[in-house]
Amino acid sequence: MRHTGATRTYAMLGIVAIAWWLAYTLLQPATEFLTFAVLRLERGSHFGEAVAFFLYDVPKILLLLSGMIFVITIIRTFFSAERTRRLLGAHGEREGVGNVLAALLGIVTPFCSCSAVPLFIGFVESGIPLGVTFSFLIAAPVINEVALVLLFGLFGWRVAALYVASGLTIAIIAGWLIGRLRLERWVEDFVWQMQFTAAQDDATQMTWDERLARAGEAVRAIVGKVWLYVVVGIAVGAGIHGYVPTDALAGVMGKSAWWSVPVAVLIGVPLYSNAAGVIPIVSVLLEKGASLGTALAFMMAVIGLSLPETIILRRVLKPPLIAVFVGVVALAIVVTGYLFNWVM
């Protein structure tokens, strides 16, 4: 019985994967046909190209998003906050190595910023250094899977890879710096007095059916939440495509404007949005002549440093440490922004 059930699950999965691949490859010819043959729009006209761009990009991004979230969620079912805590407890005590490991685990560990406080307490209570804990807390929100998919879909794998690399760099450097500064005295006193005993870890005991079911749920929940932002964002992008001169922003946000990176970060820090909401803005900025480093710095400032998360962290950190946290992360984002502008 068990065996036939599993076979059916894998057969279903195979059919879905083939359907996904077919839809993805046929998308380009299908939209061309729809725009220029069915709707009879003129090829090369502003309006025709804008419609083709919209009809092609919306389903492409939604397909990529569903596929990626499915795969990422499967990977995440092998990790849990508890497992990450044990891994860091065993290998993360050395600064440097610990920071790198914590930042990498920040990508794959399922995490929501509401959990920042219990996670923080659990980590420092089990002897993980403060700076290593911060590397995790910075990497987890900064490297966002929705942002990753959107960057990959709209700007290609180079930009997506740069985004991950810069997120990791920021988390490692900012965490390491916070660790070096020895700021343990600015952690609320009750944190050090708490007793933490490890809970059981349910990530290892899951069956494949459960992992697949959870991935399916995640796709439904996340795509259900962000699809409207994607549609609106791409509509705005398609709308201004060709109507606003492409170098409109080059003077203020291009490479030559050295002050644009810190200004973009200063504007981005108090703003708070989810990744799907900020990507349309980034796409407009890039299209209209902003340089890549400046646009990515703006995006990471918006999604990585958020007011709600700092308010939550205030429960365990005294105000000076909150200030250092925000300051160091903002600084790291500025440095990475310059680095990109210089390299690209």
Partner 1 sequence: MLSIKVLGSGCANCQKVEQVTKKVIATLDVDATLQKVTAMPEIMKYSILSTPGLVINEKLVCAGRIPSEAEVTAWITNALA
Residues that bind partner 1 (CB under 8 A): 80-82, 85, 110-112, 114-115, 117-119, 121-123, 190, 194, 196-199, 214, 217, 312, 315-316
Give the whole-angstrom CA distance, residue 182 versus residue 129: 10
330 CB-near residues (< 8 Å, 6+ apart): 265, 266, 269, 301, 305
Q: Which is nearer to partner 1, 37 or 112 (CB)?
A: 112
Q: Are 58 and 234 in contact (CB under 8 A)?
A: yes
Least Å from the CB of residue 133 to partner 1: 12
Q: Which is nearer to partner 1, 35 or 77 (CB)?
A: 77
Q: Which is nearer to partner 1, 96 or 118 (CB)?
A: 118
Q: Which is nearer to partner 1, 107 or 330 (CB)?
A: 107
Q: Which is nearer to partner 1, 133 or 291 (CB)?
A: 133
Least Å from the CB of residue 119 to partner 1: 5
Least Å from the CB of residue 2 to partner 1: 18
Least Å from the CB of residue 5 to partner 1: 16
Q: Which is nearer to partner 1, 214 or 288 (CB)?
A: 214
Question: Given the structure tokens 């709209």, which residue do they identify?
Answer: 154
77 CB-near residues (< 8 Å, 6+ apart): 203, 206, 210, 211, 214, 215
Least Å from the CB of residue 186 to partner 1: 18
Q: Which is nearer to partner 1, 115 or 273 (CB)?
A: 115
Give the whole-angstrom CA distance, residue 265 versus residue 283: 17
Instruction: Report residue 127: phi and psi, to 5°.
Output: 90, 5
Classified as helix, coil or strand, 161 is helix
Q: Which is nearer to partner 1, 77 or 336 (CB)?
A: 77
70 CB-near residues (< 8 Å, 6+ apart): 215, 216, 218, 219
Q: Which is nearer to partner 1, 283 or 310 (CB)?
A: 310
113 CB-near residues (< 8 Å, 6+ apart): 140, 141, 306, 308, 309, 312
Q: Which is nearer to partner 1, 81 or 285 (CB)?
A: 81
Least Å from the CB of residue 221 to partner 1: 8
Q: Are 65 and 218 in contact (CB under 8 A)?
A: no
Least Å from the CB of residue 123 to partner 1: 8
What are the helix (H) ranges across the chain? 2-32, 46-76, 81-91, 97-108, 116-125, 130-142, 145-155, 157-180, 189-193, 208-240, 250-253, 260-268, 275-287, 292-304, 307-313, 319-343
Least Å from the CB of residue 216 to partner 1: 11
Least Å from the CB of residue 180 to partner 1: 26
Least Å from the CB of residue 313 to partner 1: 11
Give the whole-angstrom CA distance, residue 266 versus residue 262: 6
- List the one residue out of 201, 277, 223 whose CA is nearest residue 73: 223
Exposure string for 40-59, b = 16+ CB within 10 A, e = fewer: ebeeeeeebbbbbbbbbbbe
